[in-house]
Chain A
Amino acid sequence: MSKLNAWYGRKGAAFISAMLATALVVSGCSTGGKSADGKGKEVSLEGRYTPNAEEPAWKLDKKESTELTWYVNADWWNTDFGNDVVTKKIKKDLKINIKFITGDDTKLNTIFAGNDKPDLITIFDGNSSVAQKASTWALPLNDLAEKYDPYFNKAAAQDTMNWFKQADGKTYGYPNYSNTQADYESGNIPATTAFIIRKDVYEAVGKPPMKTQEEFKSAMSLIKSKFPNLLPFGFNSIGEGTGSLGDVLQDYLGVPLEDKEGKFYDRNLDADYLSWVKTLNEVYRAGNISDDSFADDNTAFEEKVKSGKYATIFLSGTPQQGGNLQIFMSANPGKEYIAVDGPQSTVGNAPTLNQSGISGWMISYITKDCKDPAKAIQIFTYLLSEEGQMLMNYGIEGETYQVNADKTVSFLPAIKELQLKDADKFKKEYRMGEFMFFGHDRYKALSQDAFLDSIKQMQEWGKGKLKPHFILENTNPAPGTPEARALSAINANWSTALVSMVRAKDEAAFNNTLESYKKFLTENNWSKIAEARSEKMKENKAKLGIK
C-alpha cells in the first residue's frame, strides 16, 4: 500500500512539475510584447511648431485636434470634459479632447497587466510600486520638456522635480498640492487643522481656557452640564486610521519629528502625546465623548458637523469641512464654529501643524503608450502655468472673476451667489476649483473667495503654526516587503489600540493596552522598520539639502 502511495507521489510530483514548466513557458512567452521597446513613442513636430523656451508650446502648436485618454485612480473623479467653463477653455486652448477613465487599484492592475495603458495616468500614492517603477512605463518629464516644450521647466517647481527624481536622475510624475519649503515660508498656504468650538457655547460657558489638561477636562464637563444635548468633544472619523487623534494631534502638540540624532522618532509613544491621550480617556470616562464618534464613518461625521452636534471638534481638514461648516453657520448666525487655542504640549513644544507636503497628492504621469507625448506635456505646462492655475481656481477673467485694485481676485457677484446657492449647478456649469490635477494652494491665497467664510477665522488662527514634514514623507518600507506587511499590521493595531486607550474603563486597562501595543511592536520587527525609516529620512534630507 505504502509502495503504491509512493508511486503515486512520484508520479504526482512529475505531473505537477510538468504543469509548472508549461506554465513558465507560456508566461515567459507573453512577457515580450509591447513593453520591450522601452522608449515610448516619438512624434514628429514637423509642420506643428518649433519648441521655444520663452513660450509655452501649446500656443505654438498648429495641430488641429488630439484625443487623449486619461486614467484617474479614483472612482469619485468627475469624468466630464468640455461641458463646463473650465474644461471648455482647456479644450479650446489646447485643441484636445480628453476621455477620462476612473477606477481603483484593481483596475489599475488590470490596465498594467493588459499592457494597453492610456495616454496619461494619475495615481495617489507616491510610495506604491506603480510609482516606484515609473521609469518602466512612463516617459521622463525632463526629456519631454527638452524635446517638445522647454517652457515646462519654467512652470514646474524645481524643488518638486528634484523630490520626484528617480534613481536614473529623471522625473516621471508631477504632483498637485506639492508645497515646497518656500511655499511654507511665504505664508501663502493655510493651515488645515484647528481645535474649534461653537461660538455660542464658548460664550455661554465663559470662554474657559483649554490649553492644559486640567483646563480641558473641566471645560468639557462644563459644556456637558450646560448643553446636555450636544456632544462636548468630536474628532474626524476614525475608520481604519486614527482620525484626527493620531499624527494630527501629535502635530498640534508639537511632538518632535525626529530624535536628537536626526533619526526616526516613534511619535506615537511620545510621553507628552500619551499624557494627552490619557486626558482624553478621562474626558471619555466622564461621559463627554460619545461612543458613536469612534464608529461614525465620514458621512456620519460630516452630517454631525453640518447640524452642529458637536460643541468642540478637533478637526483635521478644515477646507474639506468648509461647506458643512458654512451650512451650519448660515442657518445659525452667531453660533458658528471658531478656532481657539486647544491642547498644548506639557513640555513646552510649539505646534508643528502639517499641510500637504512636497510629495503632494495626485501624481500625474505620461505613459510610454501615449499617442502624442508632445500634446501631453503641453497639458502639464498649461495647467501648471499661471494661466492654467487661474483658470482652474477662478475661471475666466471678466466672465467669472475680476482682478481688484489691490491685485486680489474675486468671483463676479452672480457667480459667487450661484456657488453658495446652487452648488450642483456651479459644479456642472463652471467647475472652478475642481479640475485640480496640478492645483496649488499658492493661487488660492489670491482671493477672498477661494475659501468659504466659515473657515477663514480658523486659517487666521493657524498662521505661523505650519512646519514642513518633508523629512518624514515616503519613509514607509517598500511595498511587498516583510517590513511593509509588518507596518500595515502595526498601523492597524495602533488604530485599535488608540481607540481602546481613549475608551479604557480605568487606568489599568489604559496601561494594559499600551503595553500590549508596545509588545506588538517588538514582535513585528519594529526596530527594522525604524532603521529603514531613519535611512530614508537621511535620503530625504540629502534631496532637500538639509544636513
Chain B
Amino acid sequence: MNAKLRKQDVDGRVFNAVNVALLLLVTIIIVVPLWNVVISSFSSGRALAEGGFIFWPQELSLENYRAVFNDNNIYQAFFISVAKTVLGVATHVFFCAMVGYALSKKNLRGRKLYVAMGVITMFFSGGMIPTYLLIKSLGLLNSFWVYIIPALFSYYDVVILMNFFRNVPDSLEESAKMDGAGDWRIFLSIFIPLSMPVMATIALFNGVGQWNDFMTTKLYITDQALYPLQMMLYEIIVQSQTQAMQSTAGSAVIETTTKGVQLATIVITTMPIVVVYPLLQRYFISGMMLGAVKE
C-alpha cells in the first residue's frame, strides 16, 4: 500500500518535471523573439547593423525612441488610437449586448429569422469592394466614425452574449417585473451587472482588434490627422520594402527608416495593449468558461 503510494508520488513528480520543462521551452520560444525586439530597440543603429542575435542591448541608446517621439504625428495618432479603441469597445459591447438580450427572449417575434440572418453574416461577408462602396455611400470616408459604426455589430459576440443571457434564471426577470421594472430596467440593472465577465471578454477581444486594426484606415481614411498608431507603424515598415523598384528608379533616392526606429515603433504601439491585458485577464478566463456549459 505504502509502496504503491510512493510510486504514484514519483510518477507525479516525473510528470510535473517533464510538464514544467516542456512548458518552459514553449515559453522561451515565445518570449525570446519579443525580448529580442525590445532589446534591439534600445540598441544603437550601428550595433544592429552588425547583425546576428542579441540578448542584451548593444551600445545602449535611446536614439531610436528619440527619433520616434520627434515625429509630432505620433501624439495625434496615439490620441486617435485610444479614442477609437475606448469608444469603439464601449459602443460595440453595449450594442451587441442589446441585440443579444433581445434575441435571448423566446417571446421575441421573428426571432428565428433574425438569428438566421445573423448566422449568414458569420459565413459570408460582402467583400472588400462592395463594403467600400457601402461605406462611401454612407458618407463615412475620411470620418472618425468609420472606426466606430461599422464595428458596432459582430454576430459572433452576440451569440456569446445571447447564450449567457439565456442562462440567467427566468425567475430573476419575473420578480423584477413584479416589482414594476420595464425591459430597459431589467436589461440595465440586472442583466448587465450579471454579465460583466462575458462583457469583459468581448471587450478584450474587440479592444485588441480595434487597437491592432490598420486595414480600416488604409481603405477608408486619407486624412493623416485620423491615422491611428498602427497605420503609422505600417507606413514605417512598408518604407523598408521599396528596394524592388530600384533598377527602374534611375537615380531617385527613397529614404527608408532604420531597423532600430522600426522596432522602437513596434514597442511603443504594442505597449498599451500589453499593459491593459493582464488587468482584464482574470475576467477573460472566467468569461471563457461562462456559458460554455449548460447546467
Do A and B truly interact? Answer: yes
Residues of A within 8 A of B (CB): 30, 74-76, 79, 101, 103-104, 106-107, 109-110, 113-114, 116, 124, 176-177, 179, 189-190, 192, 236-237, 239-241, 247-248, 292, 296-300, 302-304, 306-307, 309, 316-317, 319-320, 322-323, 354-357, 359-361, 423, 427, 433, 436, 439-441, 444, 450-451
Residue from the list A106, A124, A299 in contact with B240, Cβ < 8 A: A299
Q: Is there contact, CB below 8 Å, between B250 and A179?
A: yes
B228 → chain A closest CB, angstroms = 15
Chain B: interface residue total (CB-CB under 8 A) = 41
Residues of B within 8 A of A (CB): 45-46, 48-52, 128-129, 132-133, 136, 218-219, 222, 224, 234-235, 238-259, 262
Q: Is there contact, CB below 8 Å, between A114 and B253?
A: no
With a cutoff of 8 Å between Cβ atoms, the chain B residues found around residue A75 in the complex are 234-235, 238-239
Instruction: Describe A's contact surface by its main secondary structure.
Output: loop
**With A and B bound together, what is the CA distance between A510 and B244 in angstroms?**
26
Find the A residue at minimum CB distance from B241.
A298
Q: Is there contact, CB below 8 Å, between A110 and B129?
A: yes
Most buried by B among A189, A309, A317, A355: A317
Q: List 26 A-B contacts (CB under 8 A).
A: A74-B242, A104-B218, A104-B238, A110-B129, A110-B132, A114-B133, A176-B250, A177-B249, A190-B251, A192-B247, A236-B243, A237-B243, A303-B258, A304-B51, A307-B50, A309-B49, A317-B249, A319-B250, A319-B251, A319-B253, A320-B254, A355-B250, A356-B249, A360-B250, A439-B250, A450-B251
**With A and B bound together, what is the CA distance between A59 and B250 in angstroms?**
30
With a cutoff of 8 Å between Cβ atoms, the chain A residues found around residue B250 in the complex are 176-177, 179, 189, 192, 319, 355-356, 360-361, 439-441
Q: Is there contact, CB below 8 Å, between A298 and B49?
A: no
A358 → chain B closest CB, angstroms = 11
With a cutoff of 8 Å between Cβ atoms, the chain A residues found around residue B243 in the complex are 236-237, 239, 298
With a cutoff of 8 Å between Cβ atoms, the chain A residues found around residue B51 in the complex are 292, 296, 300, 304, 309
Instruction: Describe B's contact surface by its main secondary structure.
Output: helix
Given contacts A101-B222, A320-B254, contact A303 B244 (CB under 8 A): no
Most buried by A among B49, B52, B238, B242: B49
Given contacts A75-B238, A299-B262, A307-B49, contact A109 B129 (CB under 8 A): yes
With a cutoff of 8 Å between Cβ atoms, the chain B residues found around residue A192 in the complex are 247, 250-251
With a cutoff of 8 Å between Cβ atoms, the chain B residues found around residue A451 in the complex are 251
With a cutoff of 8 Å between Cβ atoms, the chain A residues found around residue B257 in the complex are 299
Given contacts A75-B238, A107-B218, A239-B243, contact A303 B48 (CB under 8 A): yes
B173 → chain A closest CB, angstroms = 39
Q: Is there contact, CB below 8 Å, between A298 and B242?
A: yes
Given contacts A76-B242, A114-B132, contact A320 B45 (CB under 8 A): no
B248 → chain A closest CB, angstroms = 5
**With A and B bound together, what is the CA distance between A441 and B249 in angstroms?**
10
Find the B residue at minimum CB distance from A178.
B250
| 10 cross-chain pairs, A with B, having the tightest CB-CB distances, nearest first | A303-B49, A177-B250, A319-B251, A356-B250, A298-B243, A317-B246, A113-B129, A110-B132, A101-B222, A307-B49
**With A and B bound together, what is the CA distance between A176 and B254 in angstroms?**
14
Given contacts A248-B247, A303-B45, A355-B250, contact A103 B218 (CB under 8 A): yes
Q: Is there contact, CB below 8 Å, between A110 and B256?
A: no
Given contacts A106-B218, A317-B249, A356-B250, contact A114 B49 (CB under 8 A): no
Q: Is there contact, CB below 8 Å, between A298 and B256?
A: yes
**With A and B bound together, what is the CA distance between A307 and B52 in angstroms?**
15
Residue from the list B133, B234, B244, B248 in contact with A356, Cβ < 8 A: B248
Given contacts A354-B247, A361-B248, contact A433 B253 (CB under 8 A): yes
Q: Is there contact, CB below 8 Å, between B136 and A116?
A: yes
**With A and B bound together, what is the CA distance between A299 and B259 in angstroms?**
6
With a cutoff of 8 Å between Cβ atoms, the chain B residues found around residue A355 in the complex are 250
**With A and B bound together, what is the CA distance between A319 and B247 in angstroms?**
11
